[in-house]
Structure 1
Amino acid sequence: MPGKINWKASPTDVKKIDSILDRAAAVWPYYGEPEGRKEAAMDLTACHCNGTPLDLDALLAADDFDFAHDLFGIRENINRKTGELDNCFLPRCAHHEITAH
């Protein structure tokens, strides 16, 4: 069905996203709160599964500046109807090959 967001991340990717959120919560308390964590998990999953696959290992290992750039950039530019990124935003930890949906 066109326009439907793909939420099917692999179990391994779900664990990596959870680790990314643990790191985020240690710095920004909002991500440690249930609502903030859920929102961020959905943003990262939607981005990763809908046209801009992320190198989740690189994001987890990124320096604080690049980590914040990607996390907040995804949050600000994710299209919550399609799961795609708007405004030509490209996370620094995106895989170099972008997929079209």
Structure 2
Amino acid sequence: MLEAVLQQVLTKLNELQAEMNNMKQTMATKQDLENMATKEDLKAMATKQDLKMIQQAVLETNEIVKNIEANQKRQERILDVLSKRSIEHEAQITDLRCVK
């Protein structure tokens, strides 16, 4: 009986040891925490001037995309007109062939 209780205690102790080892592996150490970036470090990485430059680049890119979209719509309308003219010319050529 005593051996069974001791065996259960030993099993439970081994489980706790395994769990503790797992926690040690996944937890950040004091040194890890010291090496982490602070808010001040993050602020220094992107200054307001950098953000303004990024915002300006985004606005310029947006304007370019709008111009490209407008040109694409214009080209689609031109292609539509050209295809209609091509069909009309094809019909006229067929009519001329039938007249001969």
Q: Do both share a fold (TM > 0.5)?
A: no
The alignment's TM-score, normalised by the length of structure 1, stands at: 0.22
Q: Which has the higher helix share?
A: 2
Higher relative contact order (CA 8 A, sep 6+): 1
Highest Rg: 1 or 2?
2
